[in-house]
Amino acid sequence: MSSPERKEGRIPIIGVSACLFHQDAERTTFNGRPLLYLEQSMAEYVMASAALPMMIPVASDPREFSVGLSDAVECIDGLVLQGGVDMSPLSYGQQPLRPEWSGDAVRDAYELELVRLCIAKNKPVLGICRGHQVVNVALGGTLYQDLPTQVPSELCHRHAGNYERNRHEIVITEGSWLQHLYPGVVRALVPSVHHQAIAELGQGLVVQARSVVDDIIEAVRLQSSESFGPYVVGVQWHPEFQHPEDTSLLDRRPIMEDFLRAVRLRRDL
């Protein structure tokens, strides 16, 4: 398959938040040392639209370094928040209902700060799965800690065995930004790997899609009255897990292409 046409000018540099493996003496990989990583599928999703992904590191003790997240944000043109471990309920003012839902407050603080810095610098943000939830919490929203417990439904949002092959249907909100990206599409299948979801919507966010069976929020966008105001979007599904030619699923390309269009517009201001 041929590469997408490259736009004139410098290739957009897209910061991608890191997934964290904290130090763990029982983990044999790298002798349990702390790790930062970027999923290959996410890197390739960004690269497929002629942009360069750059993983943004987070220090174990930022006070020891003269280079920090604000410096990283100055170097990038936009931010993608990738999926991963649960958010900590502490990050949105709640206590974990069960110990296994305690999440990762360290990663939360790092990604929430990245979102706030990017909004302040008018650098576009795209949140995917966990990243969609981070966007919501950054703007004052809350989450369901566990959908099967708090919103019982026949719909399966996460299946351990099927993982990225688990799919369900969404309905796109009429008149929404997402409908503009997918004209004529009302319902679509998406790959779903999550057990947490948006409960209370963050300030300024507008729902773009919901799951068909249980009405869970599946996509959001920050409403802005300015043409070149903050661009912040979140989707609960995983477009990066999809094969681009799989026509049974909602086409993954328009979301990334729209994000990069916003990146180029704001970079050139």
Domain assignment present for 2: no
Domain assignment present for 204: yes
Task: Give the whole-angstrom CA distance, residue 147 versus residue 144.
Answer: 6
Say which of 111, 118, 218, 240 is annotated catalytic.
240
Per-residue pLDDT at 168: 81
Please confirm, yes or no, whether 200 is among the known catalytic residues: no
Give pLDDT tens digits for 157-193: 655 666 565 678 899 999 999 999 999 999 999 988 8
Residues 6+ apart with CB under 8 A from 122: 228, 229, 230, 266
Say which of 132, 157, 168, 238 is annotated catalytic.
238
Say which of 19, 111, 118, 129 is annotated catalytic.
129
Please confirm, yes or no, whether 243 is among the known catalytic residues: no
Those residues of the chain that have pLDDT short of 70 are 1-8, 62-64, 66, 154-166, 225-226, 269
Domain assignment present for 4: no
Domain assignment present for 250: yes
Per-residue pLDDT at 2: 42
Please count the structural domains in the chain: 1
Per-residue pLDDT at 166: 63
Which residue range(s) make up the domain with 223? 13-267
CATH of the domain at 39: 3.40.50.880
Please confirm, yes or no, whether 226 is among the known catalytic residues: no
Domain assignment present for 19: yes
Per-residue pLDDT at 83: 92
Per-residue pLDDT at 32: 86
Domain assignment present for 52: yes
